[in-house]
C-alpha cells in the first residue's frame, strides 16, 4: 500500500508547475478574459512540446502512454494556474471519448493529432438552459449527417472537432463532428476564458463512435472518467484560492492587528482547509481507481467530484470574503478563481447530479 | 500509488486474519455489532472484563500494540501493518476502547520521557490490558485553556505533594495509573510553570467521583487530590517542562481519537435504505440522497486522509497537526446525521428503548453523545485554531494573559 504519487510523477508535476508559472501567469489569463485572444496559443503549444496533451494517450496512437496518474497532477497544476487553454475539453473529454469508443481507424485518425496538440477537441452536450437528460436530446444524426444546435460548448470557438451527444433512430449516440464549415457564435458566460460557443450543425457529416444507441451509457462513462481529472483541476484552484486568502490575511491590518489573527476569519480558512484536504484525499483515491480501472471507479469518481466541487466553491467564495471589498474589484484576482470554480462545478453536470450518481453507485442502494 | 497490498502485506494480512479467526471472542460479535455510539455492548458479560480478556489473548500471542517494540510488549510492526491489523480486527476492535487513552496517549508520553526501567516495567502490562491508564489533564479552570490549570505540586524532599482537582478524566474509576499535569511554579508565565508526573491511582488522597453526563451515562470523572505524594522518580520530563510533555500526549490524542473515528454514515445509510417517507422510500428522496452523498464523501475523505497519514508514517514522516481534521469533521457530521434521522422518523425517532427502536437506538444514542465529541480532546473551535495557526501559519489570537505570571492572570473571581 502506498497512498501517494511517486517521485517520478511529482517531478512531472513540478515541471508543469514551473512551465505554467513562467508562461501562464494570471496576466495571460486576464488577456484572454478581456478578449485580446481566444486562448493562450503559446501556452498550448508549449504544453504540446512537453507532450502533455498526450500524457495518457497510448504510444501506439502518438501519445506518451504515461497513464492517468501524471495526467491528474497536470490537471491540478492547470487548475491552480487557471491556464486559459482548452485542455480539459480536448484531453479529458474529446480524446477520452475517442480513445474509449473509437474504432482503430478512428483512433489512428484522431488521437495522434489530439496528442500533439495539432487538433483541439471539445465535447458538445447542452442544448438549452436546463441540464441535458436522456430523453431530451434534440440534436439528431441521420444517414451520417448531424442537425441541431448545441448551446454552451466550452472551447467551441477554438475547437477543430467536437464529440457530440446526439439522438438517432436507434437511440442516443456519440459522434465525432469536424467543425470546419459549422456555424459558431460566441456566447457570453460566467468564465469568459472558456471560448464558449453555440454550434449550429446543418447537415454536418459526422462519424459514429462505437455502437449506435449506447450513447447515454458512453456519455456517463466519459463523464465519470473526466470527473476524476476535473476534480484535480478543482483542488488545484481551491488550493491556490486558499493560499491567496491566507497571504492576504497575514498582510492586511485592521483594528491594529493582522486580520488573520481574528478567529472569525481563521475559522473560515480552517474550514476551507478541511474541505480541501477531504477533496484531495478523495481525488487521490479516484486517481488510483481511474488508473487501475477499479471496480468501484464510478463511486470513487462521483465521490471525488462531490468533494472537489464543494471545496472548489467554498474556497473560491470565501477567498473573496477574506479579501473584503478588495476581493470584489476587477483588479484583484479573486473573481478569476470564483468564475473558474463555477465553471468547473457544472462542466460535467451540477453538484446535485453528482450527488445522485454517488448514491446510485453505492453498494446496496435500492434501485 | 497503490491501494492494494504488496506481497508482504498480503502475507501479513493472511497471518493476522487466520489468528483472529481462530482466537476472537465470536460470542461477542453479535452484541458488539449492536453497540451504540459511546458504549460497548457485550450482552450479559462485563465489558471491561471482556475487553481485558481479548487484550490479554492478543498480547500473549504478540498481537497487542503491534507497532510498539517487542521489549515493551509490542511486535515491532510497521504503520501499514497496524492499518491492516485494524482492518482485520474489525468488530472486535470495539473492545479496545477501554485502552485507547492509555495505549494511544499515555504510552507515547512514557516512551518519550520515562526511564528505560520504567518503560520495561509499565509498558508491557499497559499493552496487555492488565493495567489501565488514564490522562489527568482537564480542570474546571483549564479545559480549552489547558495551560491555565491550577492543580499544585510542591516539592518535599524527593517527593512531590499534590493538591487540586481534575475533571473529565475518562475511565479514572477503573484505571490503575494516570499521567498528571500540575503547576509547580505559579510565579512564571503559565506555560512555563507546569510539570508532568505519573501516579498510582490508588495512592492515598486520590478521590474519584463519576460525572453524570447530559446523556445519562458516566464515562468521565472528577478526580480530587489531597496531599497526594508522588516520588520525584515518577516525574516525566524536566521541572517546568510539562507543557512540552503535554504536547506529545495531545498530538497522539488527536491521532488516537481522529484515526478510525465513527462518522455515523453506516447507521444513517441503514436507516434510509428501509425507511418509508410520505414521498416514498427515503433512499429515493432527492433531499435524502443529497445529504447522504455529502456525508459519504466526507467519511470517504476521512478514510482516505487517514490512509495518506499512514503512508507518510511509513516513510518515517511524523503526522502533523493536519490530522486535527478527523474529529472536527466527524463530530459535527455525527450530530447532523443523528438530527436528520430524528427528523425523518418524526416522533418515532425519539424512542431510545433498544428493544423497540431501529438498530438498538444507535442513532438516538449518537444524538445524545455527539455534543461531547465536539468538545472532548479539543473543541471544534480549538481544532480550527490549531489548523489556522499550525497548518496555515496564521498569526495567533491576541491574548490577555500574554507575558503575565500565572498568578497575575485575570480570572472570573478577580475581575
Helix (H, G, I), strand (E, B) or coil at A120: coil
| CATH code of the domain in which B292 resides | 1.20.140.10
Task: Please tell me the predicted confidence (pLDDT) of residue A294.
Answer: 95
A54 and A90 co-located in one domain: yes
Cell of A49: 512540446
A222 and A208 co-located in one domain: no
Work out whether the CA dihedral B213, B216, B221, B224 comes out positive or negative.
positive
Residue B121 has pLDDT above 50, yes or no: yes
Closest chain A CA to residue B10: A1
B310 and B206 co-located in one domain: no
Q: What is the DSSP letter of B36?
A: P
A207 and A230 co-located in one domain: no
Q: Is residue B180 part of a domain?
A: yes
| CATH code of the domain in which A160 resides | 2.40.110.10
Q: Measuring CA to CA, which residue among B331, B314, B338, B317 is closest to residue B258?
A: B331
Task: Please tell me the predicted confidence (pLDDT) of residue B252.
Answer: 67
Quick one: A16 exposed, middle or buried, by C-beta within 10 A (0-12, 13-18, 19+)? buried
- Number of separate domains in chain A: 3
What's the pLDDT tens digit per position in B37-86?
667 788 888 999 999 999 999 999 999 999 999 999 999 998 888 888 98
* Residues B246/B182, Cβ–Cβ less than 8 Å: no
Residue that finishes a domain, picked among A165, A186, A212: A212
Residues of chain A contacting residue B266, judged by C-beta atoms under 8 Å apart: none
Query: Catalytic positions of B, please?
Result: 253
Q: Which domain holds residue B274?
A: 259-378
Query: Among residues of chain B, what percentage have pLDDT more than 70?
Result: 96
Q: What is the ipTM of this complex?
A: 0.96
- Do the Cβ atoms of B388 and A266 come within 8 Å? yes
Helix (H, G, I), strand (E, B) or coil at B260: coil
Q: Is residue B393 part of a domain?
A: no
| CATH code of the domain in which B202 resides | 2.40.110.10
Residues of chain A contacting residue B394, judged by C-beta atoms under 8 Å apart: 246, 249-250, 260-261, 266, 269
- Do the Cβ atoms of A250 and B394 come within 8 Å? yes
| CATH code of the domain in which A95 resides | 1.10.540.10
Q: Is residue B227 part of a domain?
A: yes
B236 and B266 co-located in one domain: no
B61 and B116 co-located in one domain: yes
Q: Is residue B66 part of a domain?
A: yes
Taking only Cα atoms into account, the Rg of chain B, rounded to an integer number of angstroms, comes to: 22
Q: Is residue A247 part of a domain?
A: yes
Q: Is residue A56 part of a domain?
A: yes
Q: Is residue A366 part of a domain?
A: no
Q: Is residue B151 part of a domain?
A: yes
A143 and A236 co-located in one domain: no
Q: Which domain holds residue A62?
A: 7-115
- Calpha distance B126→B177 (Å, rounded): 10
What's the pLDDT tens digit per position in B198-249?
999 999 999 999 999 999 988 899 999 999 999 999 999 999 999 999 988 7
Closest chain B CA to residue A70: B1
Q: Is residue B411 part of a domain?
A: no
Q: How far is B2 from chain A (nearest CA, A)?
A: 5
Q: Is residue A2 part of a domain?
A: no
A127 and A225 co-located in one domain: no
- Calpha distance A182→A162 (Å, rounded): 11
Q: Which is it for strands A121-124 and A161-168: parallel, antiparallel or unpaired? A: parallel
B300 and B200 co-located in one domain: no
A78 and A142 co-located in one domain: no
Q: Is residue A100 part of a domain?
A: yes
A272 and A335 co-located in one domain: yes
B198 and B277 co-located in one domain: no
* Residues A218/A100, Cβ–Cβ less than 8 Å: yes
Helix (H, G, I), strand (E, B) or coil at B358: helix
Residue that finishes a domain, picked among B197, B220, B245: B245
Q: CB neighbours of A225 closer than 8 A, spacing ≥ 6?
A: A92, A96, A100, A290, A297, A301
Residue that finishes a domain, picked among B245, B276, B291: B245
Q: Is residue B391 part of a domain?
A: no
Residue A367 has pLDDT above 70, yes or no: no
- Do the Cβ atoms of B329 and A356 come within 8 Å? no
* Residues B266/B195, Cβ–Cβ less than 8 Å: no
**Phi then psi for A188, rounded to 5 degrees?**
-70, 130
* Residues B205/B186, Cβ–Cβ less than 8 Å: no
| CATH code of the domain in which B119 resides | 1.10.540.10
B264 and B364 co-located in one domain: yes
Segment (H or E) for A122? strand A121-124
Residue that finishes a domain, picked among B191, B219, B245: B245
Q: Measuring CA to CA, which residue among B53, B64, B52, B67 is closest to residue B19?
A: B64
Task: Please tell me the predicted confidence (pLDDT) of residue A60.
Answer: 97
Work out whether the CA dihedral B22, B25, B30, B35 comes out positive or negative.
negative
- Number of separate domains in chain B: 3
What's the pLDDT tens digit per position in A288-334?
999 999 999 999 999 999 999 999 999 999 999 999 999 999 999 99
Residue that finishes a domain, picked among A166, A195, A212: A212
- Calpha distance A197→A175 (Å, rounded): 18
- Calpha distance B372→B242 (Å, rounded): 26
Task: Please tell me the predicted confidence (pLDDT) of residue B86.
Answer: 87
What's the pLDDT tens digit per position in A77-114?
999 999 999 999 999 999 999 999 999 999 999 999 99
Cell of A105: 481507424
A206 and A239 co-located in one domain: no
Residue that finishes a domain, picked among A212, A233, A265: A212
Residues of chain B contacting residue A355, judged by C-beta atoms under 8 Å apart: 289-290, 292-294
* Residue pairs between chains A and B whose CB atoms are closer than 8 Å: 161
Q: Is residue B24 part of a domain?
A: yes
- Do the Cβ atoms of B300 and A303 come within 8 Å? yes
Q: CB neighbours of A336 closer than 8 A, spacing ≥ 6?
A: A26, A29, A30, A33, A82
Q: How far is A149 from chain B (nearest CA, A)?
A: 31
DSSP per residue over B2-61, as a string?
A: B-S--HHHHHHHHHHHHHHHHHS-GGGHHHHHTPPTT----TTS-HHHHHHHHHHHHHHT
* Residues B293/B283, Cβ–Cβ less than 8 Å: no
A208 and A220 co-located in one domain: no
A183 and A225 co-located in one domain: no
A206 and A335 co-located in one domain: no
Residue B250 has pLDDT above 80, yes or no: no
Residues of chain A contacting residue B83, judged by C-beta atoms under 8 Å apart: 1
Task: Please tell me the predicted confidence (pLDDT) of residue B398.
Answer: 87
- Do the Cβ atoms of B297 and A267 come within 8 Å? no
Q: Is residue A1 part of a domain?
A: no
A189 and A134 co-located in one domain: yes
Amino acid at each position: 500500500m502506498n497512498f501517494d504519487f511517486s517521485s517520478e510523477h511529482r517531478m512531472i508535476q513540478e515541471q508543469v508547475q514551473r512551465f505554467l508559472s513562467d508562461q501562464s501567469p494570471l496576466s495571460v489569463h486576464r488577456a484572454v478574459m478581456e478578449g485580446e485572444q481566444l486562448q493562450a496559443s503559446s501556452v498550448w503549444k508549449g504544453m504540446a512540446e512537453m507532450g502533455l496533451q498526450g500524457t495518457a494517450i497510448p504510444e501506439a496512437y502518438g501519445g506518451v502512454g504515461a497513464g492517468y496518474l501524471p495526467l491528474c497532477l497536470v490537471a491540478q497544476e492547470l487548475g491552480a494556474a487557471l491556464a486559459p487553454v482548452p485542455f480539459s475539453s480536448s484531453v479529458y473529454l474529446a480524446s477520452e471519448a475517442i480513445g474509449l469508443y473509437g474504432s482503430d481507424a478512428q483512433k489512428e485518425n484522431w488521437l495522434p493529432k489530439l496528442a500533439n496538440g495539432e487538433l483541439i477537441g471539445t465535447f458538445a452536450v447542452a442544448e438549452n438552459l436546463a441540464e441535458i437528460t436522456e430523453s431530451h436530446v434534440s440534436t439528431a444524426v441521420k444517414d451520417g449527417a448531424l442537425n441541431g444546435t448545441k448551446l454552451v460548448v466550452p472551447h467551441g470557438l477554438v475547437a477543430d472537432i467536437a464529440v457530440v451527444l446526439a439522438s438517432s433512430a436507434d437511440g442516443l449516440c456519440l459522434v465525432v463532428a469536424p467543425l470546419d464549415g459549422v456555424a459558431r457564435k460566441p456566447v457570453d458566460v460566467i468564465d469568459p476564458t472558456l471560448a464558449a460557443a453555440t454550434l449550429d450543425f446543418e447537415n454536418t457529416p459526422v462519424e459514429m463512435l462505437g455502437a449506435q444507441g449506447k450513447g447515454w451509457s458512453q456519455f456517463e462513462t466519459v463523464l465519470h472518467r473526466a470527473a476524476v481529472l476535473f476534480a484535480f483541476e478543482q483542488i488545484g484552484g481551491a488550493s491556490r484560492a486558499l493560499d491567496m486568502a491566507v497571504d492576504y490575511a497575514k498582510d492586511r491590518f485592521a483594528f491594529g492587528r493582522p486580520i488573520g489573527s481574528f478567529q472569525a476569519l481563521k475559522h473560515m480558512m480552517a474550514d476551507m482547509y478541511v474541505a480541501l484536504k477531504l477533496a484531495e484525499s478523495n481525488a487521490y483515491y479516484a486517481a488510483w481507481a481511474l488508473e487501475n480501472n477499479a471496480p468501484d471507479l464510478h463511486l470513487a469518481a462521483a465521490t471525488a467530484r462531490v468533494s472537489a466541487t464543494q471545496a472548489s466553491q467554498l474556497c473560491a467564495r470565501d477567498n473573496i470574503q477574506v479579501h473584503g471589498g478588495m476581493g470584489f474589484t476587477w483588479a484583484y484576482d479573486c473573481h478569476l478563481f470564483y468564475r473558474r470554480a463555477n465553471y468547473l462545478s457544472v462542466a460535467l453536470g451540477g453538484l446535485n447530479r453528482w450527488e445522485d450518481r454517488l448514491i446510485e453507485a453505492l453498494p446496496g442502494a435500492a434501485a | 500509488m497503490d491501494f492494494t497490498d504488496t506481497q508482504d502485506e498480503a502475507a501479513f494480512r493472511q497471518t493476522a486474519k487466520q489468528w483472529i479467526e481462530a482466537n476472537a471472542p465470536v460470542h461477542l460479535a453479535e452484541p458488539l455489532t449492536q453497540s451504540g455510539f459511546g458504549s460497548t455492548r457485550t450482552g450479559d458479560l462485563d465489558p471491561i472484563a471482556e475487553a481485558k480478556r481479548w487484550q490479554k489473548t492478543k498480547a500473549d500471542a504478540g498481537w497487542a500494540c503491534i507497532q510498539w517494540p517487542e521489549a515493551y510488549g509490542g511486535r515491532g510492526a510497521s504503520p501499514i501493518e497496524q492499518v491492516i491489523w485494524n482492518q482485520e480486527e474489525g468488530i472486535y476492535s470495539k473492545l479496545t476502547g477501554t485502552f485507547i487513552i492509555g495505549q494511544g496517549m499515555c504510552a507515547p508520553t512514557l516512551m518519550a520521557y520515562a526511564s528505560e526501567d520504567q518503560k520495561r516495567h509499565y509498558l508491557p502490562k499497559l499493552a496487555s490490558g492488565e493495567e489501565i491508564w488514564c490522562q489527568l489533564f482537564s480542570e474546571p479552570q483549564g479545559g480549552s485553556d489547558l495551560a491555565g490549570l491550577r492543580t499544585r505540586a510542591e516539592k518535599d524532599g524527593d517527593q512531590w505533594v499534590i493538591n487540586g482537582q481534575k475533571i473529565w478524566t475518562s475511565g479514572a474509576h477503573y484505571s490503575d495509573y494516570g499521567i498528571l499535569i500540575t503547576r509547580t511554579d505559579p510565579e512564571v508565565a503559565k506555560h512555563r510553570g507546569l510539570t508532568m508526573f505519573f501516579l498510582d491511582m490508588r495512592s492515598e488522597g486520590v478521590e474519584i467521583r463519576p460525572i453524570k453526563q447530559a446523556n445519562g451515562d458516566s464515562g468521565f470523572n472528577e478526580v480530587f487530590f489531597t496531599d497526594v505524594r508522588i516520588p520525584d522518580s515518577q516525574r516525566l520530563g524536566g521541572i517546568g517542562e510539562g507543557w512540552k510533555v503535554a504536547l506529545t500526549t495531545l498530538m497522539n490524542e488527536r491521532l488516537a481519537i481522529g484515526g478510525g473515528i465513527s462518522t455515523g454514515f453506516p447507521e444513517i445509510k441503514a436507516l434510509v435504505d428501509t425507511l418509508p417517507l410520505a414521498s416514498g422510500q427515503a433512499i429515493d428522496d432527492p433531499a435524502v440522497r443529497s445529504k447522504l452523498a455529502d456525508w459519504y464523501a466526507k467519511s470517504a475523505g476521512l478514510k482516505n486522509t487517514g490512509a495518506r497519514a499512514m503512508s507518510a508514517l511509513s516513510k518515517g514522516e511524523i503526522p502533523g497537526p493536519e490530522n486535527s481534521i478527523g474529529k472536527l469533521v466527524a463530530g459535527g457530521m455525527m450530530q447532523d446525521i443523528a438530527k436528520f434521522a430524528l427528523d425523518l422518523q418524526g416522533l418515532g425517532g425519539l424512542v431510545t428503548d433498544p428493544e423497540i427502536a431501529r438498530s438498538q437506538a444507535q442513532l438516538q444514542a449518537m444524538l445524545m453523545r455527539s455534543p461531547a465529541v465536539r468538545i472532548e480532546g479539543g473543541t471544534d473551535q480549538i481544532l480550527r485554531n490549531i489548523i489556522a495557526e499550525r497548518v496555515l501559519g496564521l498569526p495567533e489570537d491576541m491574548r490577555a494573559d500574554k507575558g503575565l505570571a500565572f498568578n497575575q492572570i485575570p480570572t472570573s473571581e478577580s475581575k
